[in-house]
Structure 1
């Protein structure tokens, strides 16, 4: 008798403020119809990584589907550092930055089909102050926006929009920053310094048009000022951003030092204020499902 392989779904029930029961129900049906055994783990916010680690060792899943925001994906990615397990995304967070960068469709059934297909990429991972980063970390105005968003009661992209104006009005930017990168120390001033493994924020703004998520490198982007024209260009996918607006440095390691503590976010999660941020390539890659026509 043939033993059925298992597909594990790790789902954050509170991500994005939406009901996850329909996702769980459709996942179980879809996986069963494709001759797999479905197992579901709902995160609780308490010892989830330990529980997921033990569950993966026990059931040895063929693949792991992840439903939640980028924080949930990072949790699972941390667990899988020493394990060779393919993952797939059913994004259900507020901004879903990694899913945006992978061009995943919005419909659940299409996401499930991609997850069970055989199109994968080896996604680079970074270490930022001891935290795994899969797409973008930054200090400055965007991290402050995420902090304000997390303290508000309105979720989704509309919630970010509501926080944008007061964040800009009340910000203490620009700030001075020293970058130790590629054997040099560079003194810069800006409103945001991004550490980008990918191209886009979850909002769709393409801040790093030339970046690739599997090339073993990342980009440090110093945004020097607030330009409406240049910001709009990021939303329309322009690859010609003004060098007076943003400076791009390609590297595998960087240390960022500021005179005063500045807000830091990693993959959409506010992590506090820091005067020192160190980022470097992580030797571990994540094998992740992508659409068949996906190109870097």
Structure 2
């Protein structure tokens, strides 16, 4: 244990991944004994960022641990409001895309050791309207799937599978997008437009091989058609960027508009239907513990 980390704030999302978080709390407490002090903050889904910001200002933790999925990590990073806190991720969501992309341990005991370590990486974020994104946000079929999943009674990966059935059957694709980036405007049809600050979805699917979390740029990915063969290749991690399937635009800012409202999500959290999204890069926004 890093002896300089005396006060630790553990942010728990109780519903993430549909799993009991008490074992995580117990492991963190055991790890900190006898010198460390642990304080818990449980999310409720109401004013979490604002309430957490007040807790951080009051407690002044030496390290903030996050037990949840991508949306929880994003909320904590936003609650820090630019202050130089290091976040340690304990993957506990249904799909832990950011943790997967960073190569963080999935085993909780090993994840705690990494999360409390001295090695860190400072990563960029995406400014998306009045929010931020750390991982992958998108408009279209994936956002529809996430919305259906959030409304479903069954959680976990099986819930994703069940939610995909009506989504694929009832989707209104193709959508019509207008994308403005790098001084150019292009009109495209597709099933999804994604804004990627990293390489992989939580399933491990490699969707953005050019993605780097600290290069001061992000990628706009236009998936043009619902091609089962190409999707299977992507899930295996051997995407070859066939331009008939996906177009990649690397940039520092972009705006996407649609003819009709389209489902939108930020880091796994549904944000309703939109007709316009503006995105820009925020270099070096948050520091993450990572010994890889």
What is the deviation of 1:234?
1.4
Question: How big is the shift at 1:269?
Answer: 0.7
Instruction: Tell me how far 1:227 sits from its aligned partner.
Output: 1.3
The CA distance in 2 between the partners of 1:4 and 1:159, in whole Å, is: 38
1:1-296 → structure 2 map (5 Å cutoff)? 5-33=6-34, 35-283=35-283, 285-290=285-290, 292=291, 294=292
Q: How big is the shift at 1:56?
A: 1.5
SS at match of 2:143: helix
- Using the size of structure 1 for normalisation, the TM-score is 0.94
User: How many equivalent residue pairs?
Assistant: 290
The question of whether the paired residues in 2 share the 8 Å contact of 1:63 and 1:87 is answered with yes
Q: d(CA) in 2 for partners of 1:180 and 1:110? A: 43
SS at 1:271 equivalent: strand
Q: CA RMSD in A?
A: 1.6
CA distance in 2, matches of 1:288, 1:42: 20
Indicate the larger mover: 48-57 or 207-216.
Answer: 48-57
Partner Cα distance (1:41, 1:137) in 2: 26
Contact 2:214 2:283 in 1 (8 A): no
2:192 and 2:222 in contact (8 A); partners too:
yes
Structure 1: tracts of 5 or more residues without a match: none
1:51 & 1:278 partners in 2: Cα distance? 27
**Matches of 2:104 and 2:284, distance apart in 1:** 23
User: CA offsets per residue over residues 41-63 of structure 1, 9 Å max, x none?
Assistant: 11223332233222222221111
Q: Which runs of 5+ in 2 are unaligned?
A: none
CA contact (8 A) 1:264 1:271 kept: yes
Instruction: Report if the CA contact (8 A) 1:263-1:271 is conserved.
Output: yes
**What SS does the corresponding residue of 1:278 show, helix, strand or coil?**
strand
1:99: Cα distance to partner? Answer: 1.2
How far residue 81 of structure 1 moved from its aligned partner, in angstroms, is 2.4
Structure 2 length-normalised TM: 0.95
Distance 2:57 2:263 in 1: 37
Task: Tell whether the 8 Å contact from 2:194 to 2:220 is kept in structure 1 after alignment.
Answer: yes
Aligned to 1:82, what secondary structure does the other structure show? coil
